[in-house]
Amino acid sequence: MGAVAGPEIERLVQLLARLPGLGPRSARRAALHLIKKREALMIPLSGALQVALEKVQVCKTCGNIDTQNPCTVCLDPRRDPSIIVVVADVADLWALERANATQGRYHVLGATLSPLDGVGPQDLTIDALVARAHDAQVQEIILALNATVDGQTTAHYITDLLQDANVKVTRLAHGVPVGGELDYLDEGTLSAAMRQRTLF
């Protein structure tokens, strides 16, 4: 079958197909929709992407992404500085925020330990977390990690490193299903899991 569009459109489709949840067919539909709605969608989207490219940065305190540094969450005076919620990824932080599950502060590891994928302790922000845990204000570290083998391995590793810090280390209750990932859970499950956290 011959090409049905010019290389510029094919390039747009190929780039969209790299996004999670979009396969080649969905990417073609999205590209066609953007082209048809050029004024209402494509122009504002390209502007938003340019602003994000220029202004979005990683928070030096917690690892969240925002247009300011420290991020909005870290600067919020209503947050409880005695609680640090540890998550693997920014998507997990956003999931907990959608559920309004905690008023604590966050620490984004960047991933979980995964020897098979070559992800070791040096690839995560564990050292920065340990340093934050030794702050006199901090009383509790909540390990809000995925209920996967890698997530639980990471939780055990961090718990061992926090032995000499004067903090309570807790984890989410088992409302989070084994094998489940935070970003895919509903708000009710996340809220219940946060309320029923237990000592690790």
pLDDT digits (tens, 9 = 90+) for 49-82: 999 999 999 999 999 999 999 999 999 999 999 9
Supply the pTM of this predicted model. Answer: 0.79
pLDDT digits (tens, 9 = 90+) for 102-142: 999 999 999 999 988 999 999 999 999 999 999 999 999 99
Kindly report the CA angle at 183 between 159 and 186, in degrees rounded to 5?
Answer: 110
pLDDT at 1 over 50: no
How sure is the predictor about 172, in pLDDT bands with cuts at 50, 70 and 90?
Answer: confident
Q: Which domains are present in the chain? A: 65-171 (3.40.1360.10)
- From the list 55, 56, 75, the residue with the least C-alpha distance to 65 is 56
pLDDT at 82: 96
